A and B are shown apart, each in its own frame.
Chain A
Amino acid sequence: MNPSRMNIILGVLASVILVSSLAVYAYSLTPIGDTSLLVVDGNQYTWDELGGMFAEVNFVIDEDEYVGYSMADIILDAGIEDHQGASYKFIGADGYQKDVQWKDIENAFITDIDHKAVFPGLTKSFWVRDLIEIRVN
């Protein structure tokens, strides 16, 4: 291929990649929901409310120390029917979402500072940062 023609094609392709990916990245920084709330199957909690309603717990995962709340306590408080058989979708402010079963929720936590859903029994790719909603199916 003619070098100058290849340069033009590669230049256009590289520009499209850089501009589009930067635009998508910037868009992903905009929260898709209200970050001051946690919605659990339609029940709304403010993060301040959670601090008053649930006891803070300290936990350690891979030698890292965290402070947060028991996820099971919060879900049970929301009054989920058949909570053991339900499937839960955790959604972050950036749109990241993961489906998790009750057995992995029983020993899971939500951190109090960065509102991260932490599942000790699952890989970190299941952890959802800036949690805004827990949808129950």
Chain B
Amino acid sequence: MEKKNAYRLLAGIIVIGSIWGMLECILGSIKFSGTLEAFPMGALLGGFVGLGLMSFSRRMFQVRWMQLGMAVVAGILRFWAPVGTCVICSALAIVAEGLVFELIFNRPTFNIANRGWTTQRSSIMTLGFLGVVAGFTIYFTGYVFTQIMTPVITTGIFTPANFIAVLPLIYGKSFFAAALGALALPIAVLAKVPSINLQNIPNKHYYGTASSISVMCWVVVFAFYYL
């Protein structure tokens, strides 16, 4: 990859990862009460926001492993925001979600960047089915990851019996991520966006916009938690 393109890719990773991290921090801190207490915010974040942003960036940049980089940036921002007492666990879970995305979508069969998806019915169906599988797998993996890592990091004790007992709950809650994934993937891949060739945007506009949005995301999180 040319040096210029590598820098542009890095800027893309930072800006989209920052947006993802900011949404994880802000939406993840919303507390519901009463009948809304069971609102599946985690599934919304993993199955819709996370999957949607990763799919959209794969479509726009067409670069493998970029999404893992985005997840690392989002994880760092999440780690920086003091929500809960095991932020490292949440941060690592986001990185795990990025890794799962790469493992699924790096397969040539599921190449959403170059497969020439159209708005034909069969493509929408395929993307919907794939979104179910991806949304479910990404959320399930992230949730399992936190259930293993949190007790290990916070108390040093991992109890397999407790983990096994909670697996059906994780499996059941993953339904919402699966259903949301069926929406997120077709939208991210098929939604009409202005035909922008990222390579043709002048450097000063590209880097100026990317750095402004990235800084804004970090400032918003800082203001939200520290001010």
- Contact surface of A with B, Cβ cutoff 8 Å: 1, 3-4, 6-7, 10-11, 13-14, 17-18, 20-22, 24-28, 64, 89, 94-99, 101, 114, 122-126
Q: Closest residue of chain A to B87, judged by CB?
A: A123
Chain B 24-37 interface mask (CB, 8 Å, partner A; 1/0): 00000001000001
Report chain A residues within 8 Å CB of B85: 122-124
Residues of B within 8 A of A101 (CB): 155
Residue from the set A10, A18, A89, A97 with the largest chain B CB neighbour count within 10 Å: A10
Contact B165 A95 (CB under 8 A): yes
Chain B residues touching A, majority SS? helix
A18 contacts B178, C-beta separation under 8 Å = yes
Task: Return 10 A-B CB contacts under 8 Å, by A number.
Answer: A18-B179, A24-B175, A25-B172, A27-B168, A89-B162, A94-B169, A96-B165, A96-B169, A123-B150, A123-B154
Give the chain B neighbours of A24 by CB distance below 8 A.
Answer: 168, 171-172, 175
Known: A1-B109, A96-B165. A14 touches B84 (CB 8 A): no
Pair B133/A17 contact, Cβ less than 8 Å = yes
> Which residue from chain A places its CB closest to the CB of B146 in the assembled complex?
A125
**A99→B168 contact, CB < 8 A:** no
Complex CA–CA separation, A76 to B154 (angstroms): 26
Indicate whether B57 reaches chain A with its CB closer than 8 angstroms.
no
The range of chain B's interface size is: 35 or more
Most chain B CB inside 10 Å of its own CB: which residue of A17, A24, A25: A17
Taking a contact as CB atoms under 8 Å apart, the answer to whether A21 and B178 are in contact is yes
What string of 1s and 0s marks CB contacts (under 8 Å) between B132-174 and chain A? 1100100000000011001100110101011001101101111
Task: Report yes or no: A7 in contact with B126, Cβ–Cβ below 8 A.
Answer: yes
Supposing A64-B31, A94-B169, A97-B162 touch, asked if A125 and B128 sit within 8 A by C-beta, the answer is no
Cα distance A26–B172 in the bound complex, in angstroms? 8
Question: B10: CB under 8 A from chain A?
Answer: no
Q: Which 5 A-B pairs have the closest CB atoms?
A: A25-B172, A10-B129, A21-B175, A14-B132, A24-B172
Contacting residues, chain A, for B166 (C-beta < 8 A): 95-97
**Residues of B163-206 contacting chain A, CB below 8 A:** 165-166, 168-169, 171-175, 178-179, 182
B130 is an interface residue with CB less than 8 A from chain A: yes
